């Protein structure tokens, strides 16, 4: 999971010219690990929290004043793909997570061809962006077993770029693999199925270290950059106990019941937090986990859009927000935790709990005494705000119980920011900064964004609205964050292209997907239910079109409502504007209902019709739309369903919910085979369909 909070004192590491002599390993590790700054432990960080928030608001206002009128010519976008690096022990029929992130990145740094073509390793060695190249850039992630890869330059909106994404994703994976040991492979599973079991990493380290204090994973599993262990330790310190992650176990025929996680050690007395399990942290019927690594060690697929201006960015943020839970369920890929089948299919809530720093008072478990307010959600959660100045945004869509910092909101208003955006940031800034460096408290620099990003980047919501970085030509951006990573590059490209095309349809047709933001949060919870894509219904807006005479027919030939004037203020009860729909209805349309919701794919196809796309390009894009269409109607399975079925039909499976080492090995090997062959050999045809 992308978890790169901006470490305020972790100064930008100087780029190394592609023509210089290569780094030796010692220098590389210093550049990767060394932090020019002194992180504060939580008791000291708490004392300066209000100071950091105040300075962050001043930096935000400086950005706002400079960039609120910024215009870009066209939409740009980028994708982020995250990998687990696994290491096979074929002789013993075992697979483990490889903790060689630094070695792999070092090898990539030494690859002269990457910086020469505009790629490289972020922050260490990276060449100039080439006009015609999209050579990958590799990034470290929270887990030492993780890598992230992005294209070397943003994608444009041109259809050629859309058709290049899949090839580029395959290229990224191949380049990463080229710099790994023969026994290693970059797999795109959301989580490693046996993370947290004994001997699940190589090299292996003792658990119960000082920073994570986990019963199940060692401190060495995390990236050694000081911001990561400090983040984990200060979250634990602030909440007064370890993070508490309980995932319902899948109850199979022979699952012991009531289920009590057999891996929990109730007799461990290494740290004071070991009392957590004796005080009820591990819930009956659940798989119990106790560290940030179980969430931030997850992989996902994220898409960032650059809008032409702030108004377009705010509109995309709002209109994509209701789509988040739908794409979360549609990409479901996480049915296993810590060697047990779970009764959920997606990762979101597990990550949410892994970074939940709320105290007992903020959780509502104790009366407010030392804290300022009760906070309903973790800092990793679904959106709680809409921010567009669209006249169709009714106050009834907003969260009536939204918690904000009133003083900071007033400062934003006094600085010229409008009420909606000021409310959004005043909500984000109810949180405390978790990682604070002494050196950054000396002088407020309004030409930087370190204090602002300290809070902004550690609010992990399913959408993120991103102001332009100071001193950069970058515009206003929106990040779409809910999707699960898929096993193949074909699938990841399909979902990336689909979201891009939806944004084009939204802006071209002035579509309206507003529903109450609290319903979006409910939908996020629904998306966790096992096989939600086929078994559940989600709140969704019935009529996405602006007010006009008549509506397009409910088919893929829906015409563009290009000549529509701005709609009048909506009237009537908000509850009449949306209803519960299946994902099939949302994606493919309510074909049996006169005047029903047209469907996201028909809307995308209408947009493509309006653009007069050539036949060859339409055929290529149709491969992606067909995958999504069939996932939605149940013809093709989600990865979560396929993985669950693989486990339950494995000859080693005892129908007791346990995913043992042999099953795990065969599952990961199968995932690698699927990645390479993409179903052409018949494996995973239920998930990918018959492919040639």
Question: 595 versus 232: which is more confidently predicted?
Answer: 232
Average pLDDT over residues 539-559: 63
Average pLDDT over residues 399-405: 98
Summarize pLDDT for 607-631 with one digit per residue, the tens.
Answer: 999 998 999 999 999 999 999 999 9
In this predicted structure, what is the pLDDT of residue 28? Answer: 54
In this predicted structure, what is the pLDDT of residue 157? Answer: 83
Average pLDDT over residues 15-23: 34
Q: What is the DSSP string of 216-263?
A: SS-GGGB--STHHHHHHHHHHHHHTS---EEEEBP--TT--SS---TT
By the 10 Å C-beta count (0-12 exposed, 13-18 middle, 19+ buried), 591 is classed as middle
Summarize pLDDT for 432-480 with one digit per residue, the tens.
Answer: 999 999 999 999 999 999 999 999 999 999 999 999 999 998 999 999 9
In this predicted structure, what is the pLDDT of residue 116? Answer: 61
In this predicted structure, what is the pLDDT of residue 612? Answer: 87
What is the pTM for the complete model shown?
0.92
Close Cβ partners of 63 (under 8 Å, ≥ 6 residues apart): 449, 452, 467, 468, 470
In this predicted structure, what is the pLDDT of residue 12? Answer: 30
Average pLDDT over residues 638-649: 98
In this predicted structure, what is the pLDDT of residue 448? Answer: 96
Tokens of 264: 């929990």
Residue 8 has pLDDT above 70, yes or no: no
* Terminal Cα distance for the chain, rounded: 32
By the 10 Å C-beta count (0-12 exposed, 13-18 middle, 19+ buried), 163 is classed as middle
Q: How far apart are CA 541 and CA 157, in angstroms?
A: 27
Summarize pLDDT for 348-364 with one digit per residue, the tens.
Answer: 999 999 999 999 999 99
In this predicted structure, what is the pLDDT of residue 594? Answer: 80
In this predicted structure, what is the pLDDT of residue 225? Answer: 87
Q: How far apart are CA 434 and CA 455, in angstroms?
A: 8
Average pLDDT over residues 38-52: 96
Query: What is the chain's mean pLDDT, rounded?
Result: 90
Q: How far apart are CA 309 and CA 477, in angstroms?
A: 9
Compute how many other C-beta atoms are within 10 angstroms of the C-beta atom of residue 383: 27
Average pLDDT over residues 661-690: 97
Local structure of 587: helix, strand or coil: helix
Average pLDDT over residues 552-579: 58
How many secondary structure helices (H) and strands (E) does the chain include? 25, 19
In this predicted structure, what is the pLDDT of residue 293? Answer: 97
φ/ψ region of 510 (left if φ > 0, alpha if ψ in -120 to 50, else beta) reads: left
Summarize pLDDT for 275-295 with one digit per residue, the tens.
Answer: 999 999 999 999 999 999 999
- What's 48-89 look like in SS3? CHHHHHHHHHHHHHHHHHHHCCCCCCCCEEEEEEEEEEEEEE
Indicate the range of 45-54, 130-139, 154-163, 518-527 predicted with least confidence: 130-139
Residue 128 has pLDDT above 50, yes or no: yes
Tokens of 423: 């409310």
Q: What is the DSSP string of 390-455?
A: -TT--GGGS-TT----HHHHHHHHHTT--HHHHHHHHHHTTSPPS--BGGGGS---TT--HHHHHH
Average pLDDT over residues 562-573: 55
Residue 35 has pLDDT above 60, yes or no: no
Average pLDDT over residues 252-277: 97
Residue 550 has pLDDT above 50, yes or no: no
Which residue, 507, 512, 74, 469, is CA-closest to 309?
A: 74
Summarize pLDDT for 67-111 with one digit per residue, the tens.
Answer: 999 997 678 999 999 999 999 999 999 999 999 999 999 999 888
In this predicted structure, what is the pLDDT of residue 27? Answer: 53
Percentage, residues of the chain above pLDDT 90: 83
- Is residue 538 a contact partner of residue 581, using CB atoms and an 8 Å limit? yes
In this predicted structure, what is the pLDDT of residue 19? Answer: 28
φ/ψ region of 334 (left if φ > 0, alpha if ψ in -120 to 50, else beta) reads: beta
- Please, what sign has the CA dihedral across residues 540, 541, 544, 549? positive
Half-sphere exposure of 43 (CA within 13 A, CB side): 0
Residue 561 has pLDDT above 50, yes or no: no
Which residue, 86, 147, 353, 79, is CA-closest to 241?
A: 353
In this predicted structure, what is the pLDDT of residue 122? Answer: 65
Q: How far apart are CA 259 and CA 247, in angstroms?
A: 12
Tokens of 516: 């109450």
pLDDT bracket for residue 226 (50, 70, 90): confident
Give ∠ CA 83-348-100 in degrees, rounded to 5.
Answer: 25
Residue 130 has pLDDT above 60, yes or no: no
User: Could you say which architecture CATH assigns to the domain 1-557+575-692?
Assistant: 2-Layer Sandwich (3.30)
Close Cβ partners of 479 (under 8 Å, ≥ 6 residues apart): 302, 303, 304, 305, 463, 464, 466
Indicate the range of 18-27, 90-99, 158-167, 331-340 predicted with least confidence: 18-27
In this predicted structure, what is the pLDDT of residue 284? Answer: 98
């Amino acid at each position: 999971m992308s978890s790169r909070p901006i470490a305020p004192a972790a100064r930008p590491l100087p780029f190394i010219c592609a023509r210089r002599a290569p780094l030796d390993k010692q220098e590389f590790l210093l550049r990767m690990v060394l932090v020019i700054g002194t992180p504060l432990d939580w008791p000291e960080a708490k004392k300066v929290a209000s100071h950091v928030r105040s300075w962050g608001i001043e930096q935000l206002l400086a950005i706002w004043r400079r960039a609120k009128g910024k215009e870009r010519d066209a939409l740009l976008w980028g994708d982020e793909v995250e990998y687990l690096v696994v290491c096979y022990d074929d002789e013993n029929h075992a697979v483990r997570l490889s903790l060689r992130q630094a070695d792999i990145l070092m090898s990539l740094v030494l690859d002269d061809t990457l910086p020469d073509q505009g790629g490289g390793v972020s922050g260490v060695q990276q060449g100039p962006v080439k006009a015609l190249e999209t050579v990958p850039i590799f990034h470290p992630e929270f887990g030492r077993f993780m890598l992230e890869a992005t294209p070397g330059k943003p994608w444009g909106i041109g259809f050629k770029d859309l058709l290049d994404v899949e090839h580029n994703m395959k290229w990224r994976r191949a380049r990463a693999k080229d710099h790994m040991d023969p026994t290693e492979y970059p797999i795109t599973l959301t989580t490693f199925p046996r993370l947290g079991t004994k001997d699940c990493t190589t090299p292996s380290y003792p658990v119960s270290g000082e920073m994570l204090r986990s019963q199940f994973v060692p401190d060495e599993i995390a990236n050694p950059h000081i911001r990561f262990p400090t983040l984990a330790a200060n979250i634990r310190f602030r909440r007064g106990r370890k993070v508490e992650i309980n995932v319902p176990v899948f109850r199979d025929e022979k699952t012991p019941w009531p289920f009590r996680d057999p891996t929990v050690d109730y007799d461990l007395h290494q740290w004071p937090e070991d009392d957590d399990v004796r005080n009820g942290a591990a819930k009956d019927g659940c798989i119990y986990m106790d560290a940030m690594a179980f969430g931030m060690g997850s992989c996902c697929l994220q898409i960032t859009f650059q809008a032409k201006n702030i108004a377009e960015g705010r509109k995309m943020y709002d209109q994509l927000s209701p789509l988040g839970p739908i794409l979360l369920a549609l990409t479901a890929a996480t049915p296993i935790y810590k060697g047990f089948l779970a009764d959920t299919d997606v990762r979101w809530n597990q990550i949410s709990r892994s970074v939940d720093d709320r105290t007992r008072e903020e959780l509502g478990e104790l009366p407010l005494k030392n804290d300022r307010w009760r906070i309903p959600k973790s800092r990793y959660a679904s959106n709680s705000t809409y921010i567009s100045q669209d006249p169709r945004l009714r106050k009834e869509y907003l969260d009536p119980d939204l918690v904000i910092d009133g003083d900071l909101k007033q400062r934003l208003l006094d600085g010229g920011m409008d009420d909606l955006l000021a409310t959004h940031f005043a909500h984000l800034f109810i949180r405390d900064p978790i990682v604070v460096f002494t050196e950054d408290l000396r002088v407020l620099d309004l030409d930087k964004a370190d204090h602002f990003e300290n809070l902004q980047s550690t609010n992990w919501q399913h959408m993120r609205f991103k102001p332009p970085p100071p001193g950069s030509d970058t515009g206003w951006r929106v990040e779409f964050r809910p999707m699960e990573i898929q096993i193949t590059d074909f699938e990841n490209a399909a979902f990336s292209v689909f979201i891009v095309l939806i944004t084009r349809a939204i802006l071209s047709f002035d579509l309206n997907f507003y529903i109450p933001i609290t319903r979006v949060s409910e939908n996020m919870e629904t998306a966790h239910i096992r096989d939600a894509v086929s078994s559940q219904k989600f709140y969704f807006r019935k009529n996405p079109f602006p007010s006009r005479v008549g509506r397009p027919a409910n088919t893929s030939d829906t015409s563009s409502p290009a000549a529509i004037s701005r709609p009048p203020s909506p009237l009537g009860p908000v509850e009449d504007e949306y209803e519960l729909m299946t994902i099939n209805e949302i994606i493919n349309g309510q074909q049996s209902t006169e005047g029903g919701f047209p469907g996201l794919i028909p809307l995308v196809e209408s947009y493509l019709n309006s653009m007069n796309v050539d036949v060859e390009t339409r055929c290529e894009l149709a491969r992606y739309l067909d995958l999504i269409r069939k996932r939605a109607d149940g013809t093709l399975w989600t990865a979560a369903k396929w993985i669950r079925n693989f486990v339950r039909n494995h000859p080693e499976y005892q129908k007791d919910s346990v995913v043992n080492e042999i099953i795990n090995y065969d599952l990961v090997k199968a995932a690698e085979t699927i990645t390479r062959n993409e179903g052409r050999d018949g494996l995973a045809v239920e998930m990918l369909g018959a492919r040639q």
